[in-house]
Amino acid sequence: MNPEAKFISPDATLESVTEQISAIVLTQKSPRSWWLGATIAFALLMLFFFAVAWLLYRGVGIWGINIPIAWGFAIVNFVWWIGIGHAGTFISAILLLLHQQWRTSINRFTEAMTLFAVACAGMFPLLHLGRPFVFYWLVPYPDTMGLWPQFRSPLVWDVFAVSTYFMVSLIFWYAGLMPDLATLRDRASTRRKKILFGIFALGWRGSAAHWQNHQSAYLLLAGLAAPLVLSVHSVVSFDFSVAIVPGWHSTIFPPYFVAGAIYSGFAMVLNIIIPIRKIYRLENLITARHLNNMANVMLATGMMVAYGYIMEAFMAWYSGDIFEQFMMANRAFGPYGWIFWALMLLNVLIPQLLWSKKIRAHRVALFLVAFAINLGMWVERFVIVITSLHRDFTPSAWGMYVPTFWDWATLFGSVGLFLTLLFLFIRCLPMIALSETRKLIVESK
């Protein structure tokens, strides 16, 4: 039998699959766990709104930022979320181009996750501005001042990189969604649902012509999206590597950030998919093989990230630059040393467990490792942003960063936003690509 078989349980038929997936949206009553999760997420979302309102009213001073540490949680969270937003497009675009069939049953889901993560990320650069009300000055437009943004600044590059990435991901995701929306339209029981899905299905009939255009468009978009996966986080990393701050000014950042991004992206996918496939009994579609593959990707990217850490330390020593050397020493043994070692534990040591097949096969263990990685990647950004800033060139101007209640509120609030969107998605749209799964079944039969 062909190896792909393991990507879907043999007894799955076209009908069963269609029924199973569309039922979640159309007929099935949401399980209690959904309500529970959604409620928590929504509560956090409210916290987010509250924190943001207070921020706009009082100013960024409510955070722990100061001089010298002028960038705090806002930027840490931004980079973290962008990173998480990488898995989706990576899975759907790059794996598609590589003809990896195992993407099929998880791509829809991860694409959605990408969109939501990027949406969260996108907020922080705006919120962290001293004057958010004039954020649009970063966008080139013919203004009354006869001025343009300064294109030498990486922050302007960010604007383009992130917005492009978001747009392409959105279209890509929607393109994939169209046939399924049609299916839902046809299976919907009430007229209202029919009309609603119908509108978004854009009159999809599944005719050969439709399929042909759709496939070529889909492939085209994949081709567009693939380079973006690499470019976005490279550009984000420029925010740091372009600056002269020891600990930021490093040529290794782009590849190391991309690797880190995919690392955390997959970690987040696992953290979400493992519970979901349990709750919605999707084990037949999202099989052990999927989890195993994702674990492998994490292991690979994890090693790259570890290599990045080693390289940073090596370069610091090798450069012979006293500021670089001090930065490294201060990272490991300064006031924030314990965070650095936490990072090493979470991002380098714990993931080594994935070498063992047992762990990769063990759902709970895998979940925990993935969680450790998500935590670790956040800590990594904390180390980069804050410990580099708090002691740079001029000792007389050193400081400490102590996060405030509002720092935490915005962080967890954004998690709330992310989860809320996710729960709504699960409830309202097919979280697994119907059409593609059908295709997979046909092929594997």
Partner 1 sequence: MAQIFRRRANSLARAAIAGVVIFICANGWLLHAVYWSPWTTREMMPLEQPVPFSHKHHVYGLNLDCRFCHATVEQAAFAGMPDTETCMTCHSQIWKDAPLLAPVRDSLAKQIPLRWNRVNETPDFVFFNHSVHVQHGIGCATCHGQLDQMPLTWKSHTLYMKWCLECHRAPEKFIRPRAEVFNLHWTATNQLALGKKLVAEYAVHTAQLTDCSMCHR
Partner 2 sequence: MKSSSAHFWRSLAEFSEPGKLRELSGAEFPPGASNFGNFNRREFLKIMGASLALASLPACTRQPVRKIVPYVKQPETLVPGKPMFFATAMPLGGFATGLLAESHEGHPTKIEGNPDHPASLGATNIFHQAAVLDLYDPDRSQTLLNNAQPSTWDAFMAALNDVLRSQAVKNGRGLRILTETISSPTLNFQLQSLLKKYPEATWHQFEPVNRDNVHAGALLAFGEIVEAHFHFEKAKIILSLDADFLFAHPNSVRYARDFAEGRRAKFDRPEMNRLYVVESSPTVTGANADHRLPLRAGEMENITRALAEKIGATSAAAAPSLPLEISEWVLAVADDLAAHRGQSLVIAGENQPPAIHALAHSLNNFLGNVGNTVTFSESAVANPIRQTDSMRELIQALSQDQVDALIIFGGNPVFTAPADFHFAENMARAKFQVHLSADVNETSSLCAWHIPQNHFLETWSDARAFDGTTSIVQPLILPLYAGKSAHELLDLMISPPGRSDYEIVREFWRAQNPGDDFESNWRRALHDGLVANTALPAKNVSLRPFELPGPKNNLPILEVTFRPDATIYDGRFANNGWLQELPRPVTKLVWDNAALVSPALAAKENLANGDVVELACEHRVLKIPAWITPGQPENSIALQFGGGRTRVGTVGQNAGSNVFKLRTSAALWFVGGAHLKKTGEKFPLVTTQTQRTVDSEDRQIFREATLNQFFADKNVIQKTSEDPHKNDTLFDPPEFQYAGYRWGMAIDLSACIGCSACTIACQAENNIPIVGKTEVGRGRVLHWIRVDHYFRGPPENPEMFHQPVPCMHCENAPCELVCPVGATLHDHEGLNLQVYNRCVGTRYCSNNCPYKVRRFNFFQYADYENANLKPLWNPNVTVRWRGVMEKCTYCIQRISEARIGSENANRRLRDGEIKTACQQVCPAQAIAFGDLSDPDSRASKLKSHPLNFSMLGELNTRPRTTYLAKLRNPNPQLA
Tokens of 369: 């490792």
Taking the complex as a whole, the smallest distance from the CB of residue 248 to partner 2 amounts, in Å, to 8
164 belongs to the binding site for partner 2 (CB under 8 A): no
Instruction: Identify the CA nearest to 20 among candidates 243, 226, 207, 283.
Output: 283
Q: Which residues contact 215 (CB under 8 A, 6 or more apart)?
A: none
- Please confirm whether the linkage preceding 68 is cis (ω < 30° from 0): yes
| Cα torsion through 100, 352, 73, 405, rounded to 10 | 120
Taking the complex as a whole, the smallest distance from the CB of residue 157 to partner 2 amounts, in Å, to 9
Using CB under 8 A as the binding rule, the residues of this chain from 212 to 251 that contact partner 2 are 239, 242-245
Q: Which does 404 bind (CB under 5 to 8 A by kind): partner 2, partner 1, none?
A: partner 2
C-alpha torsion sign, points 130, 131, 137, 138 = positive
Nearer to partner 2 by Cβ, of 154 and 275: the residue is 154
Single residue of 36, 219, 397, 428 touching partner 2 by CB under 8 A: 397
Residue 1 burial by CB count (10 A; 0-12/13-18/19+): exposed, middle or buried?
exposed
**CA-to-CA separations, 65 to 53, 259, 394, 401, 406, in angstroms, rounded:** 18, 28, 18, 6, 11
Give residues in contact with partner 1 (CB under 8 A): 142-147, 185-186, 191, 194-195, 198, 202-203
Q: 107, 9 in Cβ contact below 8 A?
A: no
63 belongs to the binding site for partner 2 (CB under 8 A): yes
Instruction: Identify the CA nearest to 227 among candidates 283, 164, 317, 311.
Output: 164
Q: Which does 242 bind (CB under 5 to 8 A by kind): partner 1, partner 2, none?
A: partner 2
Nearer to partner 2 by Cβ, of 113 and 343: the residue is 343
d(CA 417, CA 412): 9
Nearer to partner 1 by Cβ, of 185 and 290: the residue is 185
Of the candidate spans 81-89, 154-162, 290-298, 414-422, the one that interacts with partner 2 by CB under 8 A turns out to be 154-162
Q: Which does 202 bind (CB under 5 to 8 A by kind): partner 1, partner 2, none?
A: partner 1
Single residue of 5, 6, 40, 54 touching partner 2 by CB under 8 A: 54
Name the residues that contact partner 2, by CB under 8 A: 52-54, 56-71, 128-135, 137-138, 145, 147-150, 152-156, 159, 239, 242-245, 322-323, 326, 334-335, 389, 391-400, 402-407
